[in-house]
Structure 1
Amino acid sequence: MFSIRSLSLLLLTLALCACAPKTMTANPEQPYPLPREPQLGQIVHLPTGVLVDEARMQAIAGDARIVYVGETHDNPASHRQQVALLRALAERHPGKIALGMEMFVPSQQPILDRWSAGKLSEKEFLKESRWYETWRMDFDYYRELLELARDLRIPLIGLNAEKSLVAAVRAKPTAELTEAEQRQVPEMDLDDPYQKAMTEAILGDHGKHGAIPADGFHRVQTLWDETMAASVVRYLSDPDHADHRLMVVAGGNHVRYGFGIPRRVFRRLPTSYVLVGSTEIVVPADKKDRLMNVKKPKFPMVPYDFLLFTEYEDLGKQEVKLGVMLGEGEDGVVVEGVMPASVGETAGLQKDDRILAIDGEPVAENFDLIYEVKRKKPGDRSTLKIRRGEEELDVPVEFVLPPAGDPHGGMPKK
């Protein structure tokens, strides 16, 4: 027979069991899944699973001191999100918002300042910043964002590590760097377990394209994040910027989940921030090869506060090419080779021709020709002034689309 005491213990045990929490099986990256498939243009607040409109997301982001925007570099939809958000932040905090960008480094700051002040043309800006050599993405992806910053006089901040330092850190551990290199290296936390896991996953995909030392790859990823974090803090810690806000634009892997730039900023300067990003839910067949084949680890946190569902889009332009190999020396820009069946061959360009001008614009270096050609569309006609031997000639050129798969254009010879 049960005693009263035994019965009481049994009832207590049953009560405790009934109240014990059930094992949760939800995905921590999306703790509140959407009830139906997401639609293009929808924005979800991932911590709650609540859909919001763009204005609501912008208003909430505007409350934070730092807004991190993770981008897909070659998706125009991702860049439109940046433009709309920067415009909203500028309206909310007029004269007190800056734009920090992964695409630039601190040594370019004087150039960025002149651009924001409206003192450089687009051509001057691209030439002085060496855009096509340093970032290499088509400027069309970033034109609208950078024009907005210029038109609204929003300061641009170069965040990233100098390429010479990146090369040194990739090649050898910090302790083996020269004293000058070590002085450039920010405080480095190489022990973040989540970044390590992501780095290993990314390296698994990159490894298909050639051997990349794992330790060097991890050091560089950390250097990028730590340098950008230090740059963010340097700007916001300046007494002149005590009441300023910052929007940070960087590739998704530097922002997503918060363990890249955001956590490293917070370690230095605890302040409020919001993570904003996008994901492609529609990927055309011809874009599938752009996606990294990364088996991503499962992380115990949401990737962003706000996530926009997009399509993987094209720039919507047809790129023409001159189809010549260019050399640059004391004699200026010289044709070192002409591709078969190219626009240049059709126009009659020959090896050793020196290109003096295009449509009246002087060509003093490769960039001058590259910039003008990139502005052309199929069907456009131009005139090249060239020197062939002792003779100057005007050469008419008609730009047409290159054959499918043709990789050649009016680019410097490697």
Structure 2
Amino acid sequence: MLLKSRLLCTAALGLLLLAQTANASSPEEDTTKTSCIQRAQWVSPKDLSLLSPTALLKKAAAQKVVLLGEFHPDEVHHRWQLQTLTQLYAHNPNMVLGFEMFPRWTQPILDRWVRGELSEKEFLKQTNWDTSWKYDADMYLPLFHFARTNRLPMIALNVHRDLIRKVAQDGWDVIPDYQREGIETPRAAHPDYIKSLKEVFSQHSHMDEEEKESEDRFNNFVQSQLTWDGAMAQMIAKTQKAGGNPLVVGIMGSGHLTNGYGVPHQLKGLGLNATVLLPWTLGWDCTELVDGYADAVFGLEEMEPKGQDKKPILGVRIEASADKKGVLIEEIVEDSVAEKAGLKKGDLILTAADLATNEPKDLIRIIQQQAHGTWLPLEIQRNGRPLTVVAKFPQLGQ
């Protein structure tokens, strides 16, 4: 999968539950693909010139908004975010942290966490982490503890996924005001963003060809992405302009940030410019680094294979079905257990190991109990037909 496709999917599809590391490169590929950036370097995408870390971060900390991207399943990206946060904080402790990971209704819980009133377990349970965001909480907890330790406000930037789905299905205009969660109509998309979203839209295998050719369906899809971007941008702007002139640092998927199409574009419409800093994994295709990709990128090693303490992962993003009878696969990670088993977007998983999977948490629990090196039979429904698929979880180190 190309880097561009991966980052677009981050924004347009929310990426993938229980995702695996993708895009491992051979030694020969590493020699050519990493020539533009090395580990621990800050580089300007404009001309691939090296940047001074001190000067870059001091200047960024003096701005009103800094946006830090991530590839959600990559724990190395989250370590980089924490490192960058600490450096920004050293220059400007008047900081507020905004997180894509939390919908607006969780704001009182975030406030209680920062005040020290909740344990980790209580915090994750009350925010419905396992069903709302679904990625490994251990990757994010150091960021949450950083906010708590320094008493930095945490802001919930996102909206409930039901709103995004409704917009994707019916369009923004038909959503009544009381269901919009306080969001104003987002700014019109940049033309190049529409082209990028068209590419993502065409890859939706759960839709038939007639749906993919539907202009109305595509327009609704674009509006759903603008709702997502606009919601986060509007909350960032509201926070920054509320008083005290804080540095608002947004933590979110890189697909919302690359080339300035998503959240940065929405922020400009609200009168705010953002400094965009992105992680860059060695081995990614450097032809994607173009002027405007970000203000700066930082070179990082690839994520190491999971250790013995890590649970098996299937490599899918799932959502509950409308009738709560099975979970729907919305996306699949390249080269994952799911892909190798033959699972596809649009498949409905009915059972796993003969246990009903009526909700996402059911499948998550079953997978987390699976041992490395074992097989997991899945009863699925594809295009109305029942099928049996066997997911083969590799031994550790394979």
User: How would you bin the TM-score normalised by the shorter chain?
Assistant: 0.5 to 0.7
CA deviations over 1:285-305 (Å, ceiling 9, x no partner): xxxxxx9xxxx9x89842111
CA deviations over 1:265-320 (Å, ceiling 9, x no partner): 121133x431100222337xxxxxxx9xxxx9x89842111111223314733334
RMSD across aligned positions (CA): 3.5
The 1:182/1:402 distance shift into structure 2, 3 A limit, reads: closer
In structure 2, what is the Cα distance between the partners aligned to 1:47 and 1:338?
Answer: 48
For 1:38, give the aligned amino acid: I
Asked whether the 8 Å contact 2:78–2:140 carries over to 1, the reply is yes
In structure 2, what is the Cα distance between the partners aligned to 1:279 and 1:407?
Answer: 37
Q: Partner of 2:17 in structure 1? A: none
The 1:179/1:306 distance shift into structure 2, 3 A limit, reads: closer
Deviation at 1:37, TM superposition (A): 4.1
Deviation at 1:63, TM superposition (A): 2.2
Asked whether the 8 Å contact 1:140–1:315 carries over to 2, the reply is no
Match of 2:196 among 198, 204, 225: 198
Structure 2 residue 372 is matched with structure 1 residue 402: yes
Deviation at 1:243, TM superposition (A): 2.1
Match of 2:302 among 312, 316, 337: 312
Asked whether the 8 Å contact 2:183–2:234 carries over to 1, the reply is no
The 1:310/1:404 distance shift into structure 2, 3 A limit, reads: farther
For 1:246, give the aligned amino acid: V
In structure 1, what is the Cα distance between the partners aligned to 2:377 and 2:193?
Answer: 35
Structure 2 residue 272 is matched with structure 1 residue 277: no
Unmatched runs of 5 consecutive residues or more in structure 2: 1-32, 313-350, 356-360, 379-398
CA deviations over 1:317-346 (Å, ceiling 9, x no partner): 33347xxxxxxxxxxxxxxx9949xxxxxx
Structure 2 residue 186 is matched with structure 1 residue 217: no
Question: What SS does the corresponding residue of 1:248 show, helix, strand or coil?
Answer: strand
Q: Partner of 1:9 in structure 2? A: none
CA deviations over 1:136-163 (Å, ceiling 9, x no partner): 1111221211111111111111101222
Match of 2:124 among 103, 123, 126: 126
Structure 2 residue 58 is matched with structure 1 residue 59: yes
Alignment of 1:14-413 (within 5 A): 36-94=35-93, 96-182=94-180, 184-205=182-203, 207-208=204-205, 210=207, 213-239=217-243, 242-270=244-272, 272-282=273-283, 301-314=291-304, 316-318=306-308, 319-320=310-311, 339=353, 401-404=371-374, 406=376
Count of aligned pairs: 295
The 1:317/1:154 distance shift into structure 2, 3 A limit, reads: farther
Asked whether the 8 Å contact 2:70–2:77 carries over to 1, the reply is yes
The 1:37/1:181 distance shift into structure 2, 3 A limit, reads: closer
In structure 2, what is the Cα distance between the partners aligned to 1:45 and 1:137?
Answer: 30
Asked whether the 8 Å contact 1:194–1:299 carries over to 2, the reply is no
Deviation at 1:48, TM superposition (A): 4.6
Asked whether the 8 Å contact 1:44–1:52 carries over to 2, the reply is yes
Question: What SS does the corresponding residue of 2:151 show, helix, strand or coil?
Answer: coil
Asked whether the 8 Å contact 2:70–2:253 carries over to 1, the reply is yes
Question: What SS does the corresponding residue of 2:205 show, helix, strand or coil?
Answer: helix
The 1:176/1:80 distance shift into structure 2, 3 A limit, reads: same
In structure 2, what is the Cα distance between the partners aligned to 1:179 and 1:135?
Answer: 25
In structure 2, what is the Cα distance between the partners aligned to 1:315 and 1:119?
Answer: 35
Question: What SS does the corresponding residue of 2:202 show, helix, strand or coil?
Answer: helix
CA deviations over 1:333-382 (Å, ceiling 9, x no partner): xxxx9949xxxxxxxxxx9xxxxxxxxxxxxxx89x96xx97xxxxxxxx
Higher relative contact order (CA 8 A, sep 6+): 2
Question: TM (normalized to structure 2)?
Answer: 0.65
The 1:179/1:36 distance shift into structure 2, 3 A limit, reads: closer
Unmatched runs of 5 consecutive residues or more in structure 1: 1-33, 284-290, 322-336, 341-350, 352-365, 375-398, 409-414
